[in-house]
């Protein structure tokens, strides 16, 4: 049997509560992110690039059109930043889709610094 139970009114009126434990977790390093890049070529139709951006990257038509123009003018554009697995999947999907439609569109990924 307990000799003494603390009642709310019996409890000493100080701010230090010994029952609170602070648990520190080791710092976990965030996994690196990867940029997915679309490269320009002279053969893939602009409309196809817009379609790819809408379908695989969830862009609106206006966003996709802007990115397509960037690829066209600058030769390359970042179309998204993802974890390694997702970036790899997106690159594979785009490359596969382009090949099936007989377009030489290139999609690559690189680690974000």
We report the CATH number of the domain holding residue 71 as 3.30.1390.10
Please report, for residues 1, 48, 57, 59, 81, the alpha-carbon distance to residue 51 in angstroms, rounded to integers and kept in the order given. 75, 5, 10, 9, 19
In a domain? residue 13: no
Quote the crossing angle between the two packed helices 46-57 and 84-100, to the nearest 10°. Answer: 140
Q: Tell me, what's the pLDDT at 30?
A: 87
Distance CA 17, CA 22 (A): 12
**108 compared with 21, residue with greater pLDDT:** 108
pLDDT band at 25 (very low <50, low <70, confident <90, very high): confident
Report the domain count for the chain: 1
Tally Cβ neighbours within 10 Å of residue 67: 21
In a domain? residue 34: no
Question: What residue numbers bound the domain in which 105 lies?
Answer: 42-111
pLDDT digits (tens, 9 = 90+) for 77-94: 999 999 999 999 999 999
In a domain? residue 29: no
């Amino acid at each position: 049997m307990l000799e003494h139970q603390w009642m709310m009114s019996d409890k000493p009126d100080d701010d230090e509560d010994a029952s609170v434990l602070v648990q520190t977790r080791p710092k976990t390093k965030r996994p690196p992110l990867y940029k997915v890049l679309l490269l320009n070529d002279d053969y893939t139709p602009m409309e196809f690039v817009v379609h790819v951006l809408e379908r695989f990257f969830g862009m609106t038509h206006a966003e996709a059109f802007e990115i397509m123009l960037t690829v066209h003018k600058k030769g390359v554009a970042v179309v998204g930043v993802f974890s390694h697995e997702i970036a790899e999947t997106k690159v594979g999907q785009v490359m596969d889709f382009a090949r099936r439609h007989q377009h030489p569109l290139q999609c690559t990924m690189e680690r974000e610094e």
